[in-house]
Amino acid sequence: MATSNSKKRCYPSGLEITFNDEQINSVVEHWPRFITLEAQLSDQNSKPLTKVSPFLIQKGIQGIIGTPKSVKKLKSGALLIEVTKKQHSTSLLALKMLADIPVVGKIHSGLNQSKGILFDRDHDLDDIPEQEIQHELESQGVISVKRFTKRRNDVVEPTNTYLLTFCVPNLPTNIKVGLYQMKIETFVPNPLRCFKCQRFGHGQMNCKGSEACFRCGEDGHDGKTCQNTPKCKNCKGEHMASSKQCPIWKKEKEIQKVKTESKIPYPEAKKLVNLSSVPKPQLTYATVVKASSLKEAATQVSEKDFLMKSTSSEAPLASNDKGKSTPPASAGHAAIAAQKSVAVAASKSEAAGSSKSSGRQNKSPKKKKHPEAADRSVAQKGERPRRSSQ
C-alpha cells in the first residue's frame, strides 16, 4: 500500500510503481545553512557586532528574516546565524546594513559541509577517475572526491578508500553508486600538531612557542638531521612526537571525534573528553558493607557518649543536699529519664515472669515410678520382667 506522503506514477506497460518523496526529490538543493555576519570596521569608533546591544541585533535580524534557528557569537566578533530557508540565506548574504552598522555576509566554510568515508570493498571504482566519480555523485550533494594513497616500499599506491565532501551539514548514511547502495562513515581527521613546537591543538602559523625537534624533543635544532634517541616532546615516551602510539595523540584523536560528531568547537570537545577521562570510584559490595558498618558503629558510639554525658550531668544533682532546691530538668533529660523508667519496668516484669515460670516448674516435679509398679506394667504388656541385680 502507498503511504500518505508517497506519489504514484503509471507507466505505459501498465505497471504501477510507487515512489516516495525522498526518491523523487533525489537532487539535493545546494544552499548554505550557516551564515556569518561581520561588521566593517572602518574607523576607531566602529565596533564588532558582539559589542552591539543584543536588542538592536534582535530587531534588525527579525526585520529581515524573522526569527532564525540559532545565533551564536564568534571570537572574531562576528555572528554565526543558522537558517532553515534558502530565501533567508540569500537575504543575509546580500545584507549591507544591520542596525545602522555596515556589515558583510559570508558563507561559513566548515559548518555548511560534511565529510564521509566510502570504502569500495569490491573495487568497483578502481578504474574511474576522481573527477568522473564526483560528477556522477553531484546530484546527491557530493562536491569533492579524494582517493587515499599509501606508501609501500617507497612506492605510492592508491587504495580503495575515498573521502567524499558533501555540501550539506548533515552527513548521509548511505549513497547510491550506480545501482549499488554503499555506506558512508564519518570522517574523523587526525589531530592538528604544530610542526614548530610539536604541541597539539594549533598550527605553526599561530605558534608562539620555541622550535623543538620532532624526534628527540629537544629545543633548538631540526629533526631532519637528528640522530638522537627518539623521545616524545608531549608524553616523554620513547617514540617520536608524530607517533600514533602516543597517549597524547590518542586523546587528541578522541577530541577530534567528539568535535566532528557533535559539531562543537575544539575547546568544548576538549572539556568533554577531559571530564569523561576522570576516573570514577568503583563501588563494590564489600565497600558498601564496610561503609555502612562504620557509619553504624559511629552512631552507636555517639549515642553511648550522649548517655554517659547525660548520666554524669545528673549525678551532681542527686548528691546535693536535701534542703537545696534543684533546678527543673530540661526536655532532653526528662525524655531520657522516661526511657530509663520504661526500661526498668520492662526488666522487672520480665524478672517477675521468669520467677513465676520457675516456681511452676518447682511445684510440679516429675514423679518417679516405683520398680514394682514398673514390673507390673511390663507384665501386663506380656513382656518379661527385669530382675534386679543384687
How far is the C-alpha of 5 from the C-alpha of 378, rounded, in Å? 104
Look up residue 211 and give its amino acid.
E
Q: What is the mean pLDDT of the chain?
A: 75
Q: Evaluate the CA torsion angle 333, 337, 339, 343 in order and state its sign.
A: positive
Amino acid at 118: L
Predicted pLDDT at 284: 65
- What's the pLDDT tens digit per position in 150-165? 988 888 999 999 999 9
CATH for 34-107, options being 3.40.190.10, 3.40.50.880, 3.30.70.330, 1.20.1090.10: 3.30.70.330
pLDDT value of position 11:
34
CA dihedral 230, 236, 239, 244 (to 10 degrees): -150
Report strand pairing: 114-119 vs 180-186: antiparallel
More confident site: 234 or 12: 234
With a CB cutoff of 8 Å and minimum separation 6, the contacts of 156 are 149, 150
- Give the model's pLDDT for residue 386: 54
Length of the chain: 390
Sign of the torsion formed by the C-alpha atoms of 352, 353, 359 and 363? positive
Q: Give the residue extent of every domain in the chain.
A: 34-107, 114-186, 204-274
CA distance 279 to 20: 49
Nearest partner of 115 among 134, 147, 142, judged by Cα: 142
pLDDT category, 8, cuts 50, 70, 90?
very low
> How large is the angle between the packed helices 54-65 and 86-93, nearest 10 degrees?
120
C-alpha grid cell for residue 235?
608524553
What CA–CA distance (Å, rounded) separates 50 from 99? Answer: 13
Please answer whether residues 225 and 216 qualify as being in contact, where contact means their C-beta atoms are separated by less than 8 angstroms: no
Cα 195–chain centre separation: 32
pLDDT in tens, 241-290: 989 999 999 999 999 999 888 877 788 888 888 888 766 556 565 666 66
Q: Quick check: 308 pLDDT over 80?
A: no
Query: Which residues face 149 on adjacent strands?
Result: 158
Question: What cell was used for 92?
Answer: 543575509
Q: How confident is the model at residue 344 (pLDDT cuts 50, 70, 90)?
A: low
| Residue 99 confidence class, pLDDT cut points 50, 70, 90 | confident
Rounded to an integer, what distance in angstroms lies between the CA atom of residue 288 and that of residue 308? 30
CA distance 320 to 55: 80
Contact 181, 172 (CB under 8 A): no
pLDDT, tens digit, for every residue of 218-246? 887 777 888 889 999 999 999 999 899 99
Is residue 58 scored above 80 in pLDDT? yes
pLDDT at 181: 92
Rounded to whole angstroms, how far apart are CA atoms 353 and 217? 89
Q: What percent of the chain has pLDDT over 70?
A: 63
What are the residues whose beta carbons fall under 8 Å from the beta carbon of 92, sequence distance 6 or more? 35, 37, 64, 65, 81, 83, 105
* pLDDT attached to residue 249: 93
**pLDDT the model gives residue 81:** 92
Q: What is the CA radius of gyration of the chain?
A: 44
pLDDT number for residue 286: 66
Predicted local confidence at residue 45, as pLDDT: 65
Contact 145, 137 (CB under 8 A): yes
Q: What is the mean pLDDT of residues 121-146?
A: 92
Gap between the Cα atoms of 257 and 248, Å rounded = 14
Question: CA 114, CA 130: separation in Å to the nearest integer?
Answer: 18
